[in-house]
Amino acid sequence: MYPQVLFANRKASRIATMEEYCRSGGYEALSLVVGKWTGKDVCAEVQRANLRGRGGAGFPAAIKWLGVPEEADYPRYVVANCDEMEPGTFKDRVLVHADPHMILEGMALTGYATGAEKGFIFVRPSYESSARILEREIQKARDAGYLGKNILGTDFSFEIVVHRSGGRYICGEATALLNALQGKRPNPVKPPPYPTVKGLWGRPTVVNNIETMANVPHILRNGAEWYQGLSRSSTSPGTKLFCVSGRVNGPGCFELPMGITLREIIEEHAGGLQPGCHYKACLPGGASTRYLTSEHLDVPMDFESVAAIGHRMGTAAIIVFDQNTCLVGATLNLTQFFARESCGWCTPCREGLPYLRDLLWRIEKGEGEEEFIPMMRAMCDQLWNAYCALAPGAASPVESLLTYFEDEVREHIRQKRCPFKT
C-alpha cells in the first residue's frame, strides 16, 4: 500500500464529511496561508513542488498561475475542470465522491494565489450526483467560514459556483470550457491571449483539473520536499489517480506514486487480466493516447517516461485490451467517438474524422482495401494540422494501430471480414 494523500479519507460506502476532512488536516493549509502568505508565496511553493496538471497535458500548475499578469484587472476567476469526458477516465468522479472538500480548499487556495474571488466547477451532466455533492458541501464550507466573504476572518473572499454542462467532450478543453461557461458555443480558441490573461468575460482566468487543485492543500501544508518524496519519478512529483478499466479483474481508480510501472498498476492494483485473458494492449491515458503493447509494460508512468518512448500519459486512465478483442473494432469505436464529438470548427476534425471512421468501418466489416492503410497513415499525419488537440488525439489510436497492429488490420482486409467474429 502506497501513501494515500488524495484518497486518505476515501471510504467504500460513503463520502467523507467536512469534519473528517478537517480531522485529517483539511483546511489547515487555508488557515496557514490566507492572510499570512502572499499569492506569490503560494505560487512559489507550488512551483517548488513542481505540481503538474492532471488534466492530461502535465503543464506545471504554478507556471500557469504566474501567467496571470500582476497588474491585470479584477475580477479574476478560477475554474475547476470536472468535465472529464475522456473515455476510460473517471477519477474526478471518484475524487468528488471521496473527499469533496479537498477540491474546494484547493480551489480557494488557487484563487488566493492568483487573486481570484470567484471559482466555477464545471461538471458534466452524467455527474449530476457529483454536482449535487459539491453544491451541498460548498454550502457547508461557506457556513464554516472556509468559503464566502472574509474567509477565516481575513479580507480574502472566495465564492464557488457549480456550473452544469450541457454535455460534450470538447467542453473539457480549457478554452472551449470557458466559452461553454459563458453560454457561448464551446469552440476552442487558439491562444494567445491565454485564459490567464483573457478568460471568462475577458478577465484573467485559471483553469485546472480538479485533481490538480486537490493536490494544492497538501503541498502547502506538508511542503514541496514531502510532495516530491511521494513520487518514484524525478520529473513528475506526487501521487497520481490512475483509472484502470477494460479486461481486468479489479477495475477502479487507484492513488499510486508517479513513476510506478504500467505492469504493477495492471497486475497488482487492478488485479491482473480476467481469467483466460492475456494482455494485448492498453491505452494509457484515455482515448486520445497511443496503444501501448506488452513490450511497453515496464514503462514508468510519469509524463516524461511515457513521452520518452514516443507516447503520452494523458489522464492516466488505462484501458486494457485482451487478445480476444479486435483492435480494429476498438479503434473504430474510438474514432466514432471523436467524429461525433468534434465541435465542427475546423476541416480536418469535422470532415477528416468521419473519413477515417468510414475507412475503419469498411475494414472492420470486410470491405477494406490495401490502399486504405497508406491513406489512413497520411490522414493521421494531416490531422496534426487541425485547430485544437482533439483531432491529433483522435489520430493517436489509429496511427498506433497501424504501427503496432498492422498485421491485424491486413488480416481484416485479406479475409474480408473481422477475424475476431465467428
Partner 1 sequence: MPRIVIDGLEIEVPQETKVIDAAERLGIMIPRFCYLKSLGAVGACRVCAVKFLQGPFKGVQMSCMVDVQDGMVVSTTDDEAVAFRRQVIEWLMLNHPHDCPVCDEGGQCLLQDETVSGGHGIRRYKGSKRTYRNQYLGEFIAHEMNRCIHCYRCSRFYQEYCGYRDLGVMQIADRVYFGRFQNGQLESPFSGNLVDLCPTGVYTDIPARYKVRSWDLDRSPSVCIHCSLGCNTVANARYRTVWRVEGRYNEALGSEFICDRGRFGFGYTNQPSRPRQARVDSRSVALSDALKSAAEKLSRIHAASGPRAIACVGSARNSLETQTMLKSLCDGLGLPAPCFFVNSQTEKAVKRAVASLDERVAVSLNGVAHGDFIVAVGVDPLNEAPMLALAMRQAHRRGALLVILDPRPSFLPAPHVHLGFAPGELNGVLGSLVGKALETGDEGKLPPLHEDFLKSLPLESLFKAPVNHGEELDVVLSALQKSRRPVLVCGSEIVRENTPSLCADLALLMRSAKGQCGLFYVLPGANAFGGALLSGSEESSFMEVVESMEQGCTKALVLVESDPFLQFPHKDRLKRAMEKLELLIVLDHLPSLSAEMSHVFLPTSTLFEVDSTFINQEGRVQWSRAVHEGGIPMEQWTEGNHPPRAHGAIIPGQDFKAAGKVLEEIARNMGASGEVSLSDPRFRPGKGASPLEGAPGDRPGDGMRLIPRESSREPFSAREEYFTFGEDAGDSLELLLVEALFGTEELSAHSPALEKVEPKPHMWMHEQDASMLGFSQDDVIAMDLEGGVVEVRLKVSPSMARGVLVLPRHHRLQWQKFRDISVRVPHDRMRKS
Partner 2 sequence: MAYADLLPEEMRKQLIQRIAEGETAREQAIDVMTALQNHFGHMSDQAMLVASELLAMTPLELEELATFYNFIYRQPVGKYVIHVCDSAVCWMHGHESLMDHLLSRLKIRLGETTEDGLFTVLPVCCLGYCDHAPAMLVNRHIHGELTREKIDRILTRLAEEPHLPTGMK
Our finding on whether 363 is near partner 1 (CB under 8 A) is no
Instruction: Return the residues of window 145-174 that contact partner 1 according to CB under 8 A.
Output: 168
Q: Grid coordinates standing for 272?
A: 491482473
Cα angle 4-8-10, degrees, rounded to a multiple of 5: 120
- Among candidates 170, 227, 213, 82, which has minimal Cα distance to 346? 170
Our finding on whether 87 is near partner 1 (CB under 8 A) is no
Q: How far apart are CA 209 and CA 92, in angstroms?
A: 8
Pick between residue 165 and residue 196 the one whose CB is nearest to partner 2.
Answer: 165
Our finding on whether 366 is near partner 1 (CB under 8 A) is no
Cβ 268 vs Cβ 314: under 8 Å:
no
Pick between residue 326 and residue 343 the one whose CB is nearest to partner 1.
Answer: 343
Our finding on whether 377 is near partner 1 (CB under 8 A) is no
CA dihedral 137, 139, 143, 145 (to 10 degrees): 70
Helix axes 353-364, 390-404, angle to 10 degrees: 30
Q: Grid coordinates standing for 83?
A: 468535465
CB atoms within 10 A of CB 261: 17
Our finding on whether 271 is near partner 1 (CB under 8 A) is no
Give min distance, CB of 206 to partner 1, in A: 25
Task: Tell me which of partner 1, partner 2, none is bound by residue 275, counting a contact when its beta carbon lies within the kind-specific cut-off of 5 to 8 angstroms.
Answer: none
Pick between residue 227 and residue 321 the one whose CB is nearest to partner 2.
Answer: 321
Q: How far apart are CA 84 and CA 354, in angstroms?
A: 23
- Among candidates 122, 111, 119, which has minimal Cα distance to 65? 111
Antiparallel, parallel or unpaired: β 77-82 and 279-283: unpaired
Pick between residue 96 and residue 301 the one whose CB is nearest to partner 2.
Answer: 96
Give min distance, CB of 181 to partner 2, in A: 7
Our finding on whether 328 is near partner 1 (CB under 8 A) is no
Cβ 119 vs Cβ 113: under 8 Å:
no
Give min distance, CB of 362 to partner 1, in A: 7
Task: Tell me which of partner 2, partner 1, none is bound by residue 348, counting a contact when its beta carbon lies within the kind-specific cut-off of 5 to 8 angstroms.
Answer: partner 1
- Widest distance between CA atoms in the chain: 73
Residue window 190-219: x/- pattern of binding to partner 1, with contact defined by CB under 8 A = x-----------------------------
Our finding on whether 57 is near partner 1 (CB under 8 A) is no
- Among candidates 133, 162, 183, which has minimal Cα distance to 17? 133
Our finding on whether 340 is near partner 1 (CB under 8 A) is yes
Beta bridge partners of 209: 81
Task: Tell me which of partner 2, partner 1, none is bound by residue 333, counting a contact when its beta carbon lies within the kind-specific cut-off of 5 to 8 angstroms.
Answer: partner 2
Task: Tell me which of partner 1, partner 2, none is bound by residue 354, counting a contact when its beta carbon lies within the kind-specific cut-off of 5 to 8 angstroms.
Answer: partner 1
Cβ 314 vs Cβ 334: under 8 Å:
no
Pick between residue 136 and residue 184 the one whose CB is nearest to partner 2.
Answer: 184
Task: Tell me which of partner 2, partner 1, none is bound by residue 412, counting a contact when its beta carbon lies within the kind-specific cut-off of 5 to 8 angstroms.
Answer: none
Which residues of this chain interact with partner 2, rule CB under 8 A? 84-90, 92-93, 124-129, 163-169, 180-186, 200-201, 243-247, 251-253, 283, 287, 317, 319, 321, 325, 329-330, 333-334, 336-337, 340-341, 343
Cβ 67 vs Cβ 169: under 8 Å:
no
Alpha-carbon torsion (100, 101, 102, 107), positive or negative: positive
The one among 19, 298, 351, 370 contacting partner 1 by CB under 8 A: 351
Give min distance, CB of 243 to partner 2, in A: 7
Rg of the chain over Cα atoms, rounded to whole angstroms, equals: 22
Q: How far apart are CA 197 and CA 189, in angstroms?
A: 13
Q: State the DSSP code for 235.
A: S
Task: Tell me which of partner 2, partner 1, none is bound by residue 375, counting a contact when its beta carbon lies within the kind-specific cut-off of 5 to 8 angstroms.
Answer: partner 1
Pick between residue 350 and residue 417 the one whose CB is nearest to partner 1.
Answer: 350
The one among 358, 389, 402, 420 contacting partner 1 by CB under 8 A: 358
Kindly list the residues in this chain that would bind partner 1 in the complex (CB under 8 A). 168, 185, 190, 339-348, 350-352, 354-355, 358, 362, 375, 378-379, 382, 385-387
